[in-house]
Amino acid sequence: MDFHVHLDNSTIDKVLELSRERGIKFGIVEHAGTKENQYPVVLSNESELDGYLKMLDGKPVFKGVQAEWTDWMRCFSPRMLARLDYVLTDAMTFPGKDGKRVRLWDKDVEQRVDMADKQKWMDRYVEWHLDILRKQPIDILANTSWLPAPLANDYETFWTAGRVKKVVETAVANKVALEISSSFKLPRLSFLKIAKAAGAKFSLGSNGRYPNMGKLDYALEMAATLKLMCADMFTPAPDGQKAVQRRKY
Ligand SMILES: [Zn+2]
């Protein structure tokens, strides 16, 4: 199963052809949150989410959203959110010097976020992860352990065992699964070993846009190396136990 599939530049029917060809079930995640988030499609209100859910109705896919920023859950009623199979988010949008959201992958990131002391910034980034895991009713943390360009070449230096433990223990405590991302080839094995030892659940994701959904090579390789079994894997929670139903927010 690939729980991180985007419909950008394609249609559900074309994506379903690939699902059949590749023998992989897809979880579709449209972006969801306020219109301040900039993506090809951002579901921002009750009727847009309803239309999306209806479009996927009866199709052999899981229905998810990729939640954006910290206020996405206020755009929808709890009843509407409970119609989703799961909610996924990541930590890649971060508060800038002015408090506004900054996409950490943007080229001007160092003008907008103070990263002069990289170790200090990394501590803030870990806190940001904990904040998301504690406050948002999410089922999956996607793109786990992704680092912005100024830090990305020193993965092991910044993702120390202590920092990894904080993130994975908070994920386990809040029943949030950690995505193994095939597109980013992350997390690395050092991170994943600590996560497995802490009892984390994992989901596999391509973050794929057409025609790259279902390409899970890196995630499957890590799953084999770690000897992950069914019990280690995320599956959408039954009605009543989804994060949006079980968590206070
Ligand atoms: Zn995505």
Tokens representing 10 are 């394609």
Q: What is the pLDDT of residue 21?
A: 97
Q: What is the pLDDT of residue 214?
A: 97
Q: What is the pLDDT of residue 38?
A: 86
Cα–ligand 1 centroid distance for 206 (angstroms): 8
Cα–ligand 1 centroid distance for 4 (angstroms): 6
- Cα separation, 112 vs 108, whole angstroms: 7
Cα–ligand 1 centroid distance for 143 (angstroms): 8
Cα–ligand 1 centroid distance for 192 (angstroms): 20
Q: What is the pLDDT of residues 190-246, one digit of tens each?
A: 999 999 999 999 999 999 999 999 999 999 999 999 999 999 999 999 999 999 999
Contacts of 238 (CB under 8 A, 6+ apart): none
pTM value surpassing 0.95: yes
Q: What is the pLDDT of residues 35-78, one digit of tens each?
A: 999 888 999 999 999 999 999 999 999 999 999 999 999 999 99
